[in-house]
Structure 1
Amino acid sequence: MRHPAALTAQPMNLIARLKSTGIDVKALAAPIFIVLVLAMMVLPLPAFLLDLFFTFNIAMSVVVLLVSAYTRKPLEFAAFPTVLLITTLLRLSLNVASTRKILLEGHTGPDAAGKVIDAFAHFLVGGNFAVGLVVFVILVVINFVVVTKGAGRIAEVSARFALDAMPGKQMAIDADLNAGLIGEADARKRRAELAQEAEFFGSMDGASKFVRGDAMAGILILFINIIGGLVIGMVQHGLSAGQAGENYVLLAVGDGLVAQIPSLIISIAAGLIVSRVGTGEDVGAQMIQQLFNMPRVLAITAAIMALLGLIPNMPHIPFLLMAAGAGYFAWWLDKQQKTAAAAPEELPVPEVQPGSEASWDDLEPVDMLGLEVGYRLIPLVDASQDGDLLKRIKGIRKKFAQEIGFLPPPVHIRDNLDLKPNQYRITLKGATVAEGETVSGMFLAIDPGGVTARLPGTMTTDPAFGLPAVWIDNSHKHAAQVSGYTVVDASTVAATHLNHVLQMHAAQLLGRGEVQQLLDHIGKTVGKLVEDTVPKIVPLAILHKVLQGLLLEGVHIRDLRTILETLADAGARTQDPSELVASVRVALGPAIVQQIYGYASELGVIVLEPELERVLANALGNQRPNEPIGLEPGLAEALLRNASDVTQKQEAIGQPATLLVPDAIRQPLARLFRRLAPRLRVIAHAEIPESHSIRVQAILGANS
């Protein structure tokens, strides 16, 4: 005889062997369980196994209900539609197995189909099959008409709204990604969650039909058991009508109740999953916080209960007890809220040292980059009040460094009582470069073009890009996303504006200190290149001007190695920053083209009308870098007007506005368009890689 420990170790050894062969035990669990469930429909089961499986069915339904109650958002229980199908299949298989047992052995007594059915038939309905039938019908009505129908309707509407709102939500993800608020991994994760949400509600819409079909099947199985049992009992076993009814009808009712109660529990779980609005809390915490959070409501309820309890012939004790409980709870809750809302502790007043002399320590340096906020926006930058703007600013600086090529200075944040309550101001070297307003607790619905509805709220414009927008509250957020608006919160508005300002003033943010830090950083990998180039060939001041010149024209300086190699070659023949910038731009041509066009191999460009190109070449060909642009005023005005029109037409068809010009006049034209037509990029012929082809989409000057 084997030792018990050896017998216990056998299943563990089997699992270990399966794992050693590369078989995933968890992956086999679901197929094996489904096969066993289907086998119950075919194979006869003893009464003990029926009791065990019925008990397992009830326990499983309770587990599903509790998981649904503690789930904070539907996607945390994404397997629910599949669980719904499997539990429905389990109940139907048990119905088939118990029906076989009832019809075969129902004449032997009330426990022919096991103790569980017998207990439900006698204990729950007192052995009265008429009462059992009524209770069963009521449970079916509750399940089929109320719970299942409502959950199915919610799932259907949620699936449609999830699909309709997907474009707006994806645009919001892209906006956060472009603003540097999230990384590429977070963007992929949020897009995957959007797809999963749509798939989940679509699956729930179909899975609700399982529950409806299960309820109908329960009714049919009940009547089949009753009719079949009466016929078999009286015809085959010679029982009287009363005996057959007492045995078979009671067993059929017990069997129906055993299956219908878990079905109702599963339906309630489905309703909890699809009907809740995610707030990061489970159902219990959400209900307590929102339902029992108003002392006034509880006090009025207590008064109404007390009045009802004082009416003659009413049961006074229950009503008065309920009134007393609600009144006490209202008093206690009001006391707690007043305590929480008490004034915070006063900050200690710093002691002023009498007679202290002024010193150089009193001189505060000017902030390189600052953000001033009105008093209502302080919660956005206060981590103790769950303000997330600080975290977003960190993400913006990180994304800026990854894209542009250097780390911007820290953002110094302070409150400014001179500003409007909801106003903020962005400063650069102490000077204001941008202002805007954002409303804490509200959402900004931005119209990207093509929205399908108007929203109630305060009309405004997006402070970063000037798009039409409207401030809405949380109740209109979903409708705005469905209508095609890009919906962002108050922190995102300020963070996006700050990111836009950083992009526009990148050249001013790059100081000598940042250039030296760049050299120290790249020197860790190409130290010899840095040592031979700066300052032997190109002084640090010239390198600083070259990098600023690139940033002024929107060229990223991430590829500092190529920049230094080009300067090492070109610096031997000239120290003119403008000429060095032109040489570096040719070397960075592939990166510049990719920055504008992405990975397209054919480039749609704007070109100059030949006669205009000849005139500009004669006027600007010998233009010195720092000299005023010598163009006749009428020609310059017509050129800028035509450039603005062509730029708008290119952007309207979704194409970048890029002007391709000869190398000799690229720099003066870029300076001319930088202020008055900033969205028009100017590139030279030498900057186009040989691997790319050119397609002329517009001619500048054709109508001037």
Structure 2
Amino acid sequence: MPVKSLTKLGVPLGIVLIVVMLVVPLPAMMLDLLIALNITGALLVLMVAMFIHRPLDFAAFPSVILVMTLFRLALNVSATRLVLLDGYAGKVIDTFGHFVVGGSLIVGLIVFSILLVIQFVVITNGAGRVAEVGARFTLDAMPGKQMAIDADLNSGLIDEEEARRRRAEVHAEADFHGAMDGASKFVKGDAIAAIVITLVNLLGGFAIGVAQYGMPFGDAINTYSLLSIGDGLVSQIPALLLSVATGLIVTRSVADSDMGSDIVGQIFARKMPLRVAGFGALALCVIPGLPKLPFLVAGGAMLIAASRIDDSAASTTTEAAAAAELVESPDSPEALVAEIRVDPLGLELSADLIDLVDTRTGGDLLDRVKALRRKVAGELGIVIPPVRTRDNLELPPNTYAITLFGAEVARGEAPRGTVLAIGDFLGSLPGTPTQEPVFGLEAKWIPAELRHQAEIGGATVVDRASVVTTHLSEVVHHHASRLLGREDVRLLTDIVKRSHPVVIEELTPTQLPLGEVQRVLRSLLEERIPIRDLVSIFEALSVRAAVSKDHDGLVEAARAALDPSLAAPYVIDGALHAISLEPVLEQQMLEGLRPTEQGSVIVLDPETAQNVLLGLVQAAQAAENNGVRPVLVCAPQIRAAVRRLVAPAVDRLPVLAYSELGAAREVRSVGVVGASGAHPALLAAGAHP
């Protein structure tokens, strides 16, 4: 049979044999062999516990404790059977009962009691408490560790495989400490069982010897009591070894070496403690009555050990520690730089919203955020920076905040145990009225158990994670231009260069520096125009830059290269709903066109400008109330300047030139704006501006 198969069958077969030992009598010779195996196995477990680097390296330890405890109790049962039936339980127990304690019942009871106190009161009790606290702290730290792993994954510091490995390690660590909390109870129960079994052996042996075999009182005590004490000592030695191993495991922290190397290396790392301890031991020699030789030997050994420590090595260690302290100091330049560094995009959660990212309770917000990055890359053509998700204790309850370069740009609520119902008929549902954070629609946070009822009533129901993700998506689309950095543009150009090297070689840096290319791409993103077709954009910029490097001209050239995709997002059933400007106003705007360093602007008198903006707001709202998304159309010569004029008032209103309407089969007028304000029009099919 292969070794692997023997390994699989060995442990289950051994457990079955242990159970058999509880009911089947064993010969004395076999019991001696099994007792030796028990003591040796406990010593082996102790050595393994000392040589591991971290607790998870011995993840099977809780199961080993259970098996070893069951094995030892089975030996107790077998030994008790032999002691009571034959008055003899093998050479091992007999030797422990006569030689180890000198054949004295009193001495044996005292030694046995001391071992029980050491195991039960000191080691087992302390190990159980450490295991309990360790399990609690490990479970409490799991959400934070999961968030740290996901943050590293989102920031690109680790890949998906490494993240899965770390998550599995976090879960394994929690499972291990939880199992150790229970396993420590096995050790405590074993100590109690040892007391009970020994008392039963003492009383039972005395009763059998005197009543059944008619032995004299002294002979019964001498025979059965010493054997019972020997059995107790034989059991307590491996039990004590396992208790020590348990204490070592639960108090072991993660290190780069085994426990022996750590202890020796840390105790003998410095001269001064050894010198003080050595001279202290020698000073005790002056006390009258104390033996001089033991303290001279101990103090001399300390001084000799101190003299053998390399000063240069100690100095190097001290310098390394000082350097590490300098790096870790909160006032060091590195630490200060880390403090002032801001994340391009962040999501902060109040303490009671941590369940959104806790996978143990079904929280999938971090997975949705990662999916959002892929979605934005497919929609806009840019790779947004990783979203740093963290908790913020300063936020009010049920609140999340979205930050951009360290500044809060949006905030919302996501009460725990609720869902967001959006609709017009929510009055009959209990909950907290609110507004949908993206479009400002009337909504209400209702208890999650009423979700089905709200859907039957015609409401659109959205879970909390979807609300946060949608809000974050809107913020990303709105601020996409700010998120496009110089390094991002360099990455995009490098990607295009792999497939179209000539396009990049002609464009940058020959005709346009990278910074100007970034400005053009940002201008496109400001108007929510995807830049996925970088090849067409770069080719258009290359042609335009040969004639003029005017920023507005470059942007319009890039837009022309992307036509007809500019109008496509706003076309519904082949129709485009447009707000137009009166010809007189367009002429006035054309005459008021003025070039600036930031692009052309339109100069209008304040009253006209206010009327125009108010009219656009009214026309856009009227169209949206009719269920359509309008666009503003104007002459190509003033399109860029009109966009700058209307953006502060109606940022969501796209501005297209007449030449950019090719994607629409028909254009329906939903309003006309003049110098005196808006003149809303009915939705007339085929009415061209």
Q: 1:263: Cα distance to partner?
A: 0.5
Aligned match of 1:87: 68
1:309 aligned to 260, 270, 285, which one? 285
Compared CA separation, residues 673 and 175, structure 1 to 2 (3 A): farther
User: Is 1:518 matched with 2:495?
Assistant: yes
User: Is 1:75 matched with 2:75?
Assistant: no
Compared CA separation, residues 145 and 510, structure 1 to 2 (3 A): closer
Aligned match of 2:41: 60
User: Is 1:207 matched with 2:183?
Assistant: yes
User: Is 1:465 matched with 2:409?
Assistant: no
Compared CA separation, residues 338 and 277, structure 1 to 2 (3 A): closer
Q: 1:567: Cα distance to partner?
A: 9.2
Compared CA separation, residues 289 and 508, structure 1 to 2 (3 A): same
Q: 1:130: Cα distance to partner?
A: 2.2
Q: Does structure 2 conserve the Cα–Cα contact (< 8 Å) formed by 1:562 and 1:587? A: no
Q: 1:278: Cα distance to partner?
A: 2.0
Q: 1:92: Cα distance to partner?
A: 0.7
2:160 aligned to 184, 187, 194, which one? 184
Aligned match of 2:616: none
**TM alignment of 1:220-231, pairs within 5 A:** 220-231=196-207
Q: Does structure 2 conserve the Cα–Cα contact (< 8 Å) formed by 1:566 and 1:583? A: no
User: Is 1:101 matched with 2:82?
Assistant: yes
Q: Does structure 2 conserve the Cα–Cα contact (< 8 Å) formed by 1:542 and 1:577? A: no
The separation in 2 between residues aligned to 1:317 and 1:290, in whole angstroms, is 28
The separation in 1 between residues aligned to 2:51 and 2:134, in whole angstroms, is 20
2:193 aligned to 209, 217, 222, which one? 217
Aligned match of 1:627: 600
Aligned match of 1:138: 114
Could you tell me which amino acid in structure 2 is paired with residue 627 of structure 1?
Answer: S
User: Is 1:508 matched with 2:486?
Assistant: yes
1:118 aligned to 69, 76, 94, which one? 94
**TM alignment of 1:505-584, pairs within 5 A:** 506-509=484-487, 517-519=494-496, 521-522=498-499, 549-550=520-521, 576-580=557-561
Aligned match of 1:428: none
Q: 1:281: Cα distance to partner?
A: 2.8
The alignment partner of 1:42 has SS state of coil
User: Is 1:29 matched with 2:10?
Assistant: yes
Q: 1:208: Cα distance to partner?
A: 0.9
The alignment partner of 2:406 has SS state of coil
Q: 1:204: Cα distance to partner?
A: 1.3
Aligned match of 1:268: 244
Q: 1:77: Cα distance to partner?
A: 1.5
Could you tell me which amino acid in structure 1 is paired with residue 303 of structure 2?
Answer: G
Compared CA separation, residues 236 and 75, structure 1 to 2 (3 A): same
Q: 1:63: Cα distance to partner?
A: 1.3
Compared CA separation, residues 549 and 580, structure 1 to 2 (3 A): farther
**TM alignment of 1:390-401, pairs within 5 A:** none
Q: Does structure 1 conserve the Cα–Cα contact (< 8 Å) formed by 2:131 and 2:181? A: yes
User: Is 1:195 matched with 2:171?
Assistant: yes
2:131 aligned to 155, 163, 174, which one? 155
User: Is 1:48 matched with 2:34?
Assistant: no
The separation in 2 between residues aligned to 1:178 and 1:632, in whole angstroms, is 50
2:308 aligned to 327, 332, 349, which one? 332
**TM alignment of 1:344-355, pairs within 5 A:** none
The alignment partner of 1:44 has SS state of coil
1:448 aligned to 370, 389, 392, which one? 392
The separation in 2 between residues aligned to 1:626 and 1:224, in whole angstroms, is 99
Q: 1:93: Cα distance to partner?
A: 0.9
2:234 aligned to 258, 262, 282, which one? 258
Aligned residue-pair number? 475
Question: Which digits, 9 at most, give the CA deviation of each residue in 1:647-680, with x for residues without a partner?
Answer: xxxxxxxxxxxxx984869988998999x99xx9
Moved more, 240-249 or 544-553: 544-553
The separation in 1 between residues aligned to 2:67 and 2:311, in whole angstroms, is 50
1:238 aligned to 200, 214, 217, which one? 214
Q: 1:32: Cα distance to partner?
A: 1.9
The alignment partner of 2:22 has SS state of helix
Structure 2: segments with no counterpart, 5+ residues: 321-329, 338-369, 378-388, 397-402, 409-479, 545-554, 571-576, 614-628, 661-689
Could you tell me which amino acid in structure 1 is paired with residue 178 of structure 2?
Answer: G
Q: Does structure 2 conserve the Cα–Cα contact (< 8 Å) formed by 1:233 and 1:239? A: yes
Aligned match of 1:496: none
1:322 aligned to 298, 303, 324, which one? 298
The separation in 2 between residues aligned to 1:100 and 1:672, in whole angstroms, is 100
Higher RCO (CA < 8 A, seq sep 6+): 1
Aligned match of 2:446: none
The separation in 1 between residues aligned to 2:298 and 2:646, in whole angstroms, is 77
Structure 1: segments with no counterpart, 5+ residues: 1-13, 107-111, 345-373, 382-398, 406-444, 453-461, 468-501, 524-529, 590-609, 640-659, 687-704
Could you tell me which amino acid in structure 2 is paired with residue 86 of structure 1?
Answer: V
Q: Does structure 2 conserve the Cα–Cα contact (< 8 Å) formed by 1:542 and 1:575? A: no
Q: 1:128: Cα distance to partner?
A: 2.2
Could you tell me which amino acid in structure 1 is paired with residue 230 of structure 2?
Answer: G
Q: 1:547: Cα distance to partner?
A: 8.0
The separation in 2 between residues aligned to 1:273 and 1:104, in whole angstroms, is 40
Q: Does structure 1 conserve the Cα–Cα contact (< 8 Å) formed by 2:152 and 2:158? A: yes
* Identity percentage of aligned residues: 38
The separation in 1 between residues aligned to 2:280 and 2:132, in whole angstroms, is 39
Q: 1:318: Cα distance to partner?
A: 1.2
Q: 1:588: Cα distance to partner?
A: 11
Q: Does structure 2 conserve the Cα–Cα contact (< 8 Å) formed by 1:621 and 1:664? A: no
Aligned match of 1:357: none
Question: Which digits, 9 at most, give the CA deviation of each residue in 1:93-112, with x for residues without a partner?
Answer: 11111111111111xxxxx3
Question: Which digits, 9 at most, give the CA deviation of each residue in 1:587-620, with x for residues without a partner?
Answer: 999xxxxxxxxxxxxxxxxxxxx999999xx999
Q: Does structure 2 conserve the Cα–Cα contact (< 8 Å) formed by 1:302 and 1:322? A: yes
Question: Which digits, 9 at most, give the CA deviation of each residue in 1:385-419, with x for residues without a partner?
Answer: xxxxxxxxxxxxxx9xx9798xxxxxxxxxxxxxx
Compared CA separation, residues 511 and 554, structure 1 to 2 (3 A): closer
Task: Tell me how large the CA RMSD over aligned residues is.
Answer: 5.4
Aligned match of 1:169: 145
The separation in 1 between residues aligned to 2:653 and 2:145, in whole angstroms, is 34
Q: Does structure 2 conserve the Cα–Cα contact (< 8 Å) formed by 1:51 and 1:116? A: yes
The alignment partner of 2:53 has SS state of coil
Q: 1:273: Cα distance to partner?
A: 0.9
Could you tell me which amino acid in structure 1 is paired with residue 76 of structure 2?
Answer: N
Q: Does structure 2 conserve the Cα–Cα contact (< 8 Å) formed by 1:549 and 1:578? A: no
Could you tell me which amino acid in structure 2 is paired with residue 224 of structure 1?
Answer: V
Q: Does structure 2 conserve the Cα–Cα contact (< 8 Å) formed by 1:566 and 1:587? A: no
The separation in 2 between residues aligned to 1:684 and 1:91, in whole angstroms, is 84
Compared CA separation, residues 283 and 342, structure 1 to 2 (3 A): closer
Q: 1:504: Cα distance to partner?
A: 6.2
The separation in 2 between residues aligned to 1:176 and 1:299, in whole angstroms, is 47
Aligned match of 2:273: 297
Q: Does structure 2 conserve the Cα–Cα contact (< 8 Å) formed by 1:570 and 1:583? A: no
Q: 1:191: Cα distance to partner?
A: 2.3
Compared CA separation, residues 98 and 309, structure 1 to 2 (3 A): same
Name the larger-Rg structure: 2
Compared CA separation, residues 565 and 130, structure 1 to 2 (3 A): farther
Q: Does structure 2 conserve the Cα–Cα contact (< 8 Å) formed by 1:507 and 1:551? A: no
Q: Does structure 2 conserve the Cα–Cα contact (< 8 Å) formed by 1:549 and 1:581? A: no
The separation in 2 between residues aligned to 1:306 and 1:451, in whole angstroms, is 62
Q: 1:293: Cα distance to partner?
A: 2.4
